Amino acid sequence: MRRPSLDAARLAALAPGVVIEVLRETTSTNAVAAERARAGAPEGSVVAAEHQTAGRGRLDRSWATPPRSALLFSVVLRPTVPAAVWPWLPLLTGYVVARALRGAGYDAGTKWPNDVLIGDEKIAGILVERLQTPSGPAAVVGIGLNVSLTPEELPVPTATSLLIASGAEPDRTDLLVLLVEALVEAYDAWQAGGESARDRLAASYAAACVTVGRDVRVDLPSGDPLTGRATGVDRDGRLVVRGPAGETAVGAGDVVHVRPTDR
Ligand code: BT5
């Protein structure tokens, strides 16, 4: 497989205010972007890597892809919205990535809270980390998208890649431009639009989230499982699950979409 490198020249002319640094190899783009943010990097600074040696998932899990087979990048944001709505950032990001992929012809959807799936398989993962910096609080939004991994290269059987889903290897530079521009545009509109923009995102997210309407098992941070039917997503971004004890709004946890045969 050819797996060309990202084209730094084409990435130099992105949206106004967006500056991308492309690293051949690093530990984790989220870790590097956090360092840049602490050193004063402005909103819109992006760190991308061709390979990560210590890619991070949530809860200390890892994220693994072969060199140049994926998009791995992290965006520094300095949100001015109230702290209480920051938890929408990962949901906004998953929604935007799925929408951009759908626009590019892939049958992508968001699994609550922020996994992006094609069919029932994970095509992209998102890790948003909040940090304090000398110039105020910041968020690092990290995205990993599997582009040209072959079935043998998938780190877990629940993963997929754009190559596997479509039979073709898209240009990673085009895709990175598409995703960064889509994210910046949606984030700016969400930030500037106040409460009405937040309500619109909540409605659009719930309508597009493939978890809603499914039977689910949620592994709660406490370790307890909650099973039931996902019926919606509330204004705080929580998944509403109707279980044996009524409706519960879940703010964090890992969701398994249960197929009738899994029960
Ligand atoms: C995530 O965590 O899905 C967030 C992943 C974020 C990765 C990006 S890459 C750029 C930036 N820099 C970083 O260091 N991280 C971000 P979570 O929901 O916890 O899922 C992690 C789990 O996904 C792992 O435990 C594996 O089961 C699975 N996994 C690992 N690599 C994968 C891959 N390439 N594709 C699909 N699933 C994967």
Q: What string of DSSP letters covers 97-148?
A: HHHHHHHTT--EEEETTTEEEETTEEEEEEEEEEEEETTEEEEEEEEEEE-S
What is the C-alpha to C-alpha distance for residues 174 and 178, in angstroms, rounded to an integer? Answer: 6
How does residue 221 score in pLDDT terms, banded at 50, 70 and 90?
confident
The model's pTM: 0.95
The residues pairing with 63 across neighbouring beta strands, listed in sequence order, are none
What is the domain count for the chain?
2
Mean pLDDT (the chain) is 94
Residue where a domain terminates, one of 207, 224, 242: 207
In a domain, 3, yes or no: no
Cα-Cα end-to-end distance for the chain: 40
79 and 171 co-located in one domain: yes
In terms of Cβ atoms closer than 10 Å to its own Cβ (0-12, 13-18, 19+), residue 245 is: exposed
pLDDT digit string (tens) for 187-201? Answer: 999 999 999 999 999
In a domain, 2, yes or no: no
Q: How far is CA 213 from CA 8, 103, 113, 115, 198, in A?
A: 42, 23, 14, 17, 22
Query: Structural domain of residue 179, as residue ranges?
Result: 8-207
191 and 250 co-located in one domain: no
CATH of the domain at 122: 3.30.930.10
* Cβ of 112 less than 6 Å from ligand 1: no
244 and 153 co-located in one domain: no
Q: Which ligand 1 atom minimizes the distance to the CA of 29?
A: 12
pLDDT digit string (tens) for 126-169? Answer: 999 999 999 999 999 999 999 999 999 999 999 999 999 999 99
129 and 251 co-located in one domain: no
118 and 154 co-located in one domain: yes
* Cβ of 26 less than 6 Å from ligand 1: no
pLDDT digit string (tens) for 205-215? Answer: 999 999 999 99
In a domain, 230, yes or no: yes
CATH of the domain at 230: 2.30.30.100
pLDDT at 263: 44
What is the whole-number distance in angstroms between the Cα of residue 158 and the centre of ligand 1?
Answer: 11
